[in-house]
Amino acid sequence: MTSKPAVLCDFDGTISKGDIGSTLFRRFAGGADWEDLIASWLRGEIGSKECLTRECRLIRVTREQVVELAESFEIDEYFHEFADWCAAEDIPLAVVSDGLDFYIEVVLRKHGLSHLPVFANHLKFNETGIEPEFPYFGLGCESCGNCKGYHVRRYRERHGRVVFVGDGYSDRCALEDSDLVLAKGDLARLCREEGKTCASFRDFRDVRRLVEDACRRWK
């Protein structure tokens, strides 16, 4: 166990500029069925595993189309610098997503960040489209396809403290066991509504400053 915290980062809308997963399904599935499905998930009527499984059934897309879409997205201007700083400071950094690993890996490879560990749902291509696989399902809340709370807990066991960085409702399971939550967007609103402590950020320049401050406090 080291004295440095681990940093776990959501991907869609946190590392990436915009939500690639939502864009994928909106573009290639879209329509009332997809919108109703997302509304059901937001209301808590279905978990993200069921939601993602049903989303994939609505879609007809090729590997090449997913690559083209993913490569059209950029990442936070300061994330690469932040990742380099974490490596220099011996701070473990990983990507934790309830989205799909394929497009995450495309984007990270494009930006020279394919060395980062990625924990996400697995995307499998078949003759007619795509289907998800859930290698981490059942290890956490049993509602999320990939429960971020599970990854927070296992990183805490290894490294002592965890900083979680996120922006959306799929990050809610990470709140309970993280030592520091850095939030924006829907996650920041959720923290305010539920009285959860978090620090706000705009970009990974802010994230680095907040992690540096935390490291000084935890010495």
Indicate the residue type of 189.
Answer: R
Looking at the domain assignment, is residue 1 inside a domain? Answer: no
Which token pair is 193? 């509504």
**Segment among 54-58, 88-92, 203-207 with least mean pLDDT:** 54-58
Looking at the domain assignment, is residue 71 inside a domain? Answer: yes
pTM reported for the whole predicted model? 0.94
Looking at the domain assignment, is residue 100 inside a domain? Answer: yes
Separation between Cα atoms, residue 115 and residue 112, nearest integer Å:
8
Looking at the domain assignment, is residue 44 inside a domain? Answer: yes
**Mean pLDDT, range 156-173, rounded to an integer:** 95
Domain residues for 29? 6-217
Please count the structural domains in the chain.
1
Which token pair is 112? 């020279």
Over the range 54-90, which residues count as b (16 or more CB within 10 Å of their CB) and which as e?
A: bbbeebebeeeebeebbeebebbebbeebbebbeeee
pLDDT in tens, 99-149: 999 999 999 999 999 999 999 999 999 888 899 999 999 999 988 999 999
pLDDT in tens, 189-201: 999 999 999 999 9
Query: How confident is the model at residue 1, as a pLDDT?
Result: 44
Is residue 211 very low, low, confident or very high in pLDDT (cuts 50, 70, 90)?
A: very high
- CA contacts within 13 A on the Cβ side of 123: 24
State whether residue 45 is helix, strand or coil. Answer: coil
Looking at the domain assignment, is residue 72 inside a domain? Answer: yes
Looking at the domain assignment, is residue 174 inside a domain? Answer: yes
Contacts of 179 by beta carbon, 8 Å cutoff, 6+ apart = 5, 156, 161, 162, 163, 214
pLDDT in tens, 23-60: 999 999 867 788 899 999 988 899 999 999 999 999 99
The percent of residues above 90 in pLDDT, for the chain, comes to 87
**Looking at the predicted structure, is the pLDDT value of residue 90 above 60?**
yes
Residue 210: CATH number of its domain: 3.40.50.1000
The percent of residues above 70 in pLDDT, for the chain, comes to 98
